[in-house]
Homo-oligomer: A and B are copies of this chain.
């Protein structure tokens, strides 16, 4: 039985302009791997309605889950919720449950729930809210798309609320061997191991550190005994 699959859509001009370095993809990747959900594709698009709609449709059709990051705030460039609704051909409007959450939050702070903030209560028809313990404005799940904020602390909190609701698979285990030899020296051995263990993935990640060329070999799989056996065998071959 294969693991469920996932994709991510990062929405934001600030990533593509080089102003901000995305950290949400890296965070999500680690969380999905721990839960046994295979992260298969990610896309980054600009704050552009057509681009978001097209990417949501493509990813939602192909993978079990899609996680989006960014574009659900109160400003004119926050267009993710509208675009996700449009991707599924569903209407979107201010929803009472989301409005009540925002009203309570701003009342507590003595702030006005003005027109801009009310935009954050716009939720597509049929969506389930995702709790935002940090700044109240909720994310939402529509079909297989989980729409979350771009601010990393909020994104991470939303991931933490959504993931336990999803069915995971066998977590991917990995072991790493660091080899201070050129990648070309060990390539044949790695291919031999990869062929001998077709259920495992054998990745090879060259590095340069202090002028020394080396390789980190990562053996991944869901069966701990197999991963251990492959790494032991590889270590033996490298010593030989």
Chain A residues within CB distance 8 Å of chain B: 13-23, 25-26, 28-33, 39-47, 51, 73-78, 111, 114-117, 119-120, 134-135, 151, 153, 172, 174, 182-188, 190-191, 194, 201-208, 213, 218, 220
Contacts and interface: CB of A to CB of B under 8 A. Distances in A.
22 contacts: A14-B203, A18-B28, A18-B30, A18-B32, A21-B23, A21-B26, A22-B25, A22-B26, A25-B44, A41-B51, A42-B43, A74-B183, A74-B184, A74-B187, A75-B183, A75-B191, A77-B203, A111-B184, A116-B185, A116-B187, A116-B191, A151-B207
Smallest CB-CB A-B distances: 8 pairs: A116-B187, A18-B29, A18-B30, A117-B184, A42-B44, A75-B204, A76-B191, A74-B184
A183 B73 contact: yes
B202 A153 contact: no
Q: Could you say which of A15, A21, A28, A134 has the most chain B C-beta atoms within 10 Å of its C-beta?
A: A21
A174 B42 contact: no
